[in-house]
Amino acid sequence: MSQVPADLRYTRSHEWVRQLPDGSVEVGITDHAQAALGDLVFVEVPEGGRTVGSGDAFAVVESVKAASDVYAPIAGEVISGNDALATRPELINEEPYGQGYIARLRPGSAAEIEGLLDAAQYTAHLASEA
Amino acid sequence: MRQTEPVIFELSRPGRSARSQQPAAAQVNIPESLKRRQPPRLPEVSELQAVRHYTRLSQLNFSIDTNFYPLGSCTMKYNPKVCNSLAMLPEFLARHPLAPESTGQGFLSCMYELQGMLEAVTGMKAVSLTPMAGAQGEFAGVAMIRAYHRARGDLQRDEIIVPEAAHGTNPATATMCGMKVREIPCGEDGDVDVAALEAALGPRTAGIMLTNPSTLGVFERRIRDIAAKVHAAGGLLYYDGANLNAILGKVRPGDMGFDVIHMNLHKTFSTPHGGGGPGSGAVGVSERLRPFLPVPVVGRDGGRYRWLDERDLPQTIGRLSGFMGNAGVLLRAYVYMRILGREGMREVAEYSTLNANYLLARLRAIGYEPAYPGRRASHEFIITLQRQAREQGVTAMDFAKRLLDHGYHAPTTYFPLLVPECLLIEPTETEAREELDGFIAAMASLLEEASREPEKLKGAPWTTPVRRLDDVRAARQLDLTWQASPAA
CB nearest to A41's CB, from B413, B420, B475: B475
Helices (H), chain A: 31-37, 84-87, 90-94, 110-114, 119-129
CB nearest to A41's CB, from B171, B415, B476: B476
Q: Under DSSP, is residue B119 helix (H, G, I), strand (E, B) or coil?
A: helix
Q: Under DSSP, is residue B180 helix (H, G, I), strand (E, B) or coil?
A: strand
Residue B333: its pLDDT value, please? 97
Q: Do B279 and B329 form a contact (C-beta atoms < 8 A)?
A: yes
Q: Which of B480, B478, B423, B162 is nearest to A42 (CA)?
A: B478
CB nearest to B414's CB, from A41, A42, A65: A65
B476·A68 Cβ contact <8 A? no
Residues 6 or more apart whose CB falls under 8 angstroms from that of B121 comprise B248, B249, B252, B337, B345
Distance from CA of A93 to the nearest CA of B (A): 12
List chain A residues with CB under 8 Å of B171. Answer: 69
B471·A64 Cβ contact <8 A? yes
Domain ranges of chain B: 8-60, 82-340, 347-474
Mode of pairing for the β-strands spanning B126-128 and B283-285: antiparallel
Distance from CA of A68 to the nearest CA of B (A): 9
Give the integer Cα–Cα distance in Å for B290 and A11: 44
B67-78 CB burial, b ≥16 within 10 A, e <16: ebbbbbbbbbbe
* Mean pLDDT for all residues in chain A: 94
Interface of A with B in 27-86 (CB under 8 A): 36, 39, 41-42, 57, 64-66, 68-69
End-to-end Cα, chain B, rounded Å = 26
Four-way CATH pick for B82-340: 3.40.640.10, 3.20.20.70, 3.90.470.10, 3.20.20.80: 3.40.640.10
Q: Which domains does chain A have, with CATH numbers?
A: 13-115 (2.40.50.100)
Dihedral class, residue B219 (left if φ above 0, else alpha if ψ from -120 to 50, else beta): beta
Handedness of CA B116, B121, B122, B128 (dihedral sign): negative
* B384, B386, B470, B472, best to mutate vs chain A, most A CBs in 10 Å: B472
List chain B residues with CB under 8 Å of A36. Answer: 420
- What ipTM score was computed for the predicted complex, to two decimals? 0.73
Number of Cβ atoms within 10 Å of the Cβ of B212? 24
Q: How confident is the model at residue A71 (pLDDT cuts 50, 70, 90)?
A: very high
List chain B residues with CB under 8 Å of A89. Answer: 476
Distance from CA of A22 to the nearest CA of B (A): 33
Q: Which of A50, A105, A97 is nearest to A74 (CA)?
A: A105
Prior bond to B40 cis, omega within 30?
no
Q: Is B476 on the interface with A (CB under 8 A)?
A: yes
Give the integer Cα–Cα distance in Å for B361 and B351: 15
The model's pTM: 0.88
- How many Cα atoms are found within 13 Å in the side-chain-facing hemisphere of B213? 27
Q: What Rg value do the Cα atoms of chain B yield, rounded?
A: 25
Q: Which of B445, B442, B450 is nearest to B390 (CA)?
A: B450
* Residue A76 bridge partners (DSSP): A52, A107
In this predicted structure, the answer to whether residue A60 has a pLDDT above a threshold of 50 is: yes
Give the integer Cα–Cα distance in Å for B174 and B164: 14
Mean pLDDT of A11-18: 96
- Mean pLDDT per 10-residue interval, chain B, length 488 residues: 81 87 71 88 91 92 91 93 95 91 95 98 98 95 98 97 88 94 90 96 97 90 96 98 95 97 96 78 97 97 95 97 88 97 96 97 98 93 96 96 97 89 96 98 98 97 91 87 66
A36·B471 Cβ contact <8 A? no
List chain B residues with CB under 8 Å of A65. Answer: 413-414
Four-way CATH pick for B347-474: 1.10.10.10, 3.90.1150.10, 3.40.50.10540, 3.40.640.10: 3.90.1150.10
pLDDT tens, position by position, B6-59? 999 999 999 898 777 776 766 678 888 998 899 888 899 999 999 999 999 988
